[in-house]
């Protein structure tokens, strides 16, 4: 099986390294911007697009890869449920993928696992779901600089506020997508999704792996998304990210609380490593995307990913 990588950042290099250790897989790339054609048009069995978070920025790359006859995995968070962002683009690419007999999957750890696939798996042991609370506390210190700045780290208060207003500071992307994947699978109609992102400022200089945060700049944030059903919170997603979690008295953790007949809490400690977890889930999704039915699929349509 031939797997081509577009984007030569953390996820692509990590997933490519995992796949190179596997028999029967030939890894092409990772390719950078200048080698776009080589990455997308080599008729690989799977093209992994690990470049940006935004559907609009990967749509043309996806189209070219499927026209070449490749299945596509993209880590763009918005691609985990593209109908939440642009139903026309999603429908068009879905239809074209069906015609070409290939599939497209938005894959990753979050979205793609922690707030959706794992939640659905956990829901398997309850008779019905009343409401959900999913929480991640994430060590951001290993994230690349571009991603950190975009999600909201290393900003002074006014640049954080301005960035939130003009959309350049996004917080972590993907909660509405995860919520819609889970709601769709459980047959729930979401009325609306409310959200907030609160900055956390550094009280002194902090050195992350690829970025230094100065005193007074954002070192992390607290993010909350709530999906409302019948006027009440149905799915609450909490995300705390910081480049130095011990300063918050926290350590990485993941938890899923399912309120059903009885309340069940699943917890993962220490929380899933963002870099290794993301690279692994992409590498472990190769086979399931090849075996998937043609069209744009979500993690709710597929079996679990495993090595
Ligand atoms: N769903 C998930 O759970 C999940 C998990 C991990 C990552 N992600 C997302 O996946 C993306 C990649 O993550 P990463 O950690 O690998 O990021 P990264 O380390 O910053 O690497 C991104 C790579 O893509 C290139 N790139 C950026 N924008 C591009 C564009 N518009 N067109 C072509 N190439 C572009 C960059 O090139 P330059 O260096 O030239 O800019 C770099 O090679 C990010 O948006 C991240 O948020 C999602």
Q: What's the rounded mean pLDDT across residues 201-230?
A: 97
Q: Which of 49, 52, 280 should be mutated for ligand 1, with most atoms under 8 A from CB?
A: 52
Summarize pLDDT for 94-112 with one digit per residue, the tens. 999 999 999 999 999 999 9
What pLDDT, on the 0 to 100 scale, is given for residue 167? 94
**What pLDDT score was predicted for residue 44?**
98
248 shares its domain with 188:
yes
pLDDT tens across 237-286, in order? 999 999 999 999 999 999 999 999 999 999 999 999 999 999 999 999 99
For residue 68, is it within any domain?
yes
Q: Are residues 145 and 66 in the same domain?
A: no
DSSP 94-120: HHHHHHHT-EEEE-SSTTTTTTTHHHH
Tokens of 178: 């995860």
Percent of the chain having pLDDT more than 70? 100
pLDDT at 67: 98
Whole-number Å distance, alpha carbon 205 to ligand 1 midpoint, is 26
Element (H, E) at 235: strand 232-242
* Inside any domain, residue 63: yes
Here the CATH number for the domain that contains residue 200 is 3.30.360
Instruction: Please name the residues in contact with 152: beta carbons below 8 A apart, sequence gap of 6 or more.
Output: 160, 163, 164, 169, 170, 171, 197, 199, 218, 221
- pLDDT-based confidence at residue 78 (cuts at 50, 70, 90): very high
**pLDDT classification of 225: cutoffs 50, 70, 90:** very high
Q: What pLDDT score was predicted for residue 171?
A: 97
Measured distance CA(236)–CA(221) in Å, rounded: 17
Residues 121 and 265 in one domain: yes
Fill in the DSSP letter of residue 141: T
> What CATH number corresponds to the domain at position 290?
3.40.50.720
Residue range of the domain that includes 34: 2-108+278-301
Is the same domain home to 146 and 177? yes
pLDDT in tens, 12-21: 999 999 999 9
pTM above 0.85, yes or no: yes
Q: What is the tens place of the pLDDT at every residue in 5-47?
A: 999 999 999 999 999 999 999 999 999 999 999 999 999 999 9
Instruction: Give the residue carrying structure tokens 């707030």.
Output: 115
Residues with CB under 6 A from ligand 1: 7-12, 32-33, 50-53, 57, 75, 77, 108-112, 144, 146-147, 174, 278
| Residue 214 shares a structural domain with residue 289 | no
Same domain for 249 and 138?
yes
Q: Please count the structural domains in the chain.
A: 2
- pLDDT single digits (tens) 114-142: 999 999 999 999 999 999 999 999 999 99
What is the number of the ligand 1 atom nearest to the C-alpha of 151? 47
Kindly state whether residues 152 and 247 are assigned to the same domain: yes
């Amino acid at each position: 099986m031939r797997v081509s990588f577009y984007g030569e950042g953390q996820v692509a290099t990590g997933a490519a390294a995992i796949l190179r250790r596997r028999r029967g897989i030939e890894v092409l790339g990772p390719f950078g911007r200048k080698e776009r054609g080589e990455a997308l048009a080599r008729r690989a069995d799977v093209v992994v697009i690990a470049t940006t978070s935004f559907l609009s920025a990967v749509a043309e790359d996806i189209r070219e890869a499927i026209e070449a006859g490749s299945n596509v995995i993209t880590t763009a968070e918005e691609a985990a449920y593209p109908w939440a962002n642009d139903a026309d683009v999603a429908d068009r690419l879905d239809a074209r993928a069906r015609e070409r007999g290939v599939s497209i999957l938005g894959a990753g750890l979050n979205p793609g696992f922690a707030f959706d696939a794992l939640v659905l798996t956990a829901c398997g042991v309850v008779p019905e779901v009343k409401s959900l609370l999913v929480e991640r506390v994430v060590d951001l210190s290993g994230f690349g600089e571009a991603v950190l700045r975009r999600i909201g780290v290393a900003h002074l208060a006014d640049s954080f506020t301005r960035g939130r207003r003009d959309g350049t500071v996004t917080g972590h992307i993907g909660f509405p997508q995860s919520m819609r994947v889970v709601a769709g699978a459980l047959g729930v109609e979401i009325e609306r999704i409310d959200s907030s992102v609160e900055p956390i400022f550094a009280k002194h200089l902090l050195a992350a792996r690829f970025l230094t945060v100065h005193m007074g700049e954002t070192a992390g944030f607290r993010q909350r998304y709530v999906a409302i059903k019948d006027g009440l919170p149905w799915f609450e997603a909490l995300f705390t990210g910081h480049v130095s979690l011990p300063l918050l008295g926290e350590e990485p953790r993941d938890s899923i609380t399912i309120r059903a007949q009885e309340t069940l809490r699943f917890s993962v400690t220490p929380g899933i490593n963002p870099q290794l977890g993301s690279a692994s889930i992409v590498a472990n999704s190769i086979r399931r995307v090849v075996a998937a039915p043609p069209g744009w699929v979500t993690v709710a349509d597929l079996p679990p990913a495993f090595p």
